[in-house]
Chains A and B, each alone.
Chain A
Amino acid sequence: ILNVEQSPQSLHVQEGDSTNFTCSFPSSNFYALHWYRWETAKSPEALFVMTLNGDEKKKGRISATLNTKEGYSYLYIKGSQPEDSATYLCAFKVKLTFGTGTRLTIIP
């Protein structure tokens, strides 16, 4: 069983502050790492698909980095807004094994 771990499990951030969280995955036989945002009462939506060591991807205020040699990825949110409140999931693409997610709550 592949262990994909995310930390922290939950996070409360003041509106306007920046934050980041971590996804750890096995560093051997890397194929791809995905980040998803899962808002309440909706389906998960893809944020990033990352395949290369050193990859950095950005979408608006959200960005992600990837280190395949040490087996981790960081997701950053700059200037948090209430609409960023969601559970953020990473998935390791050998059969897309998901971590347990980081539940982010933005405090207005």
Chain B
Amino acid sequence: SQTIHQWPATLVQPVGSPLSLECTVEGTSNPNLYWYRQAAGRGLQLLFYSVGIGQISSEVPQNLSASRPQDRQFILSSKKLLLSDSGFYLCAWSATVGELFFGEGSRLTVL
């Protein structure tokens, strides 16, 4: 069966510090991968999605970036965090067509 894991679960970082959130999927090949963010009081905002290794589409201009170094690994990064980057980040995967399967989420607080 397929599983998805993301870490860390909780992160408190100072403004200006770097960020790395990692997500891995097991039990499937060539999944579509997604990073979403829920800011306080808002819905799920799509940040990045990837249909294959090295293929990243960015949905919202920001100081975040994503990389897919391996088929089932998706990394969300920032060189310098802003206060507005605080939120709940969710990684997800899907087959070519079909529902999303979400990771456990990472809560980021930027102070």
Contact = CB atoms under 8 A, between A and B. Distances in A.
A44 to B, nearest CB: 5
Interface string A50-69: 00000000000000000000
Interface stretch (A11-19, A70-78, A96-104): A96-104
B44 interface: yes
A98 B99 contact: no
A98 B44 contact: yes
A2 B64 CA distance: 21
Contacts of A95: 46, 49, 57, 59
B22 interface: no
B31 interface: no
Interface of B: 34, 36, 42-46, 49, 57, 59, 90, 94, 97-105
25 contacts: A32-B97, A34-B99, A36-B100, A43-B90, A43-B102, A43-B103, A43-B105, A44-B90, A44-B100, A44-B102, A45-B102, A49-B98, A49-B99, A91-B100, A95-B46, A95-B49, A96-B34, A96-B49, A96-B94, A96-B100, A97-B46, A98-B36, A98-B45, A98-B46, A100-B43
> Which 9 residue pairs across A and B have the least CB separation, nearest first?
A100-B43, A46-B99, A43-B102, A98-B44, A44-B102, A98-B43, A49-B99, A101-B43, A43-B104
Interface of A: 32, 34, 36, 43-46, 49, 89, 91, 95-101
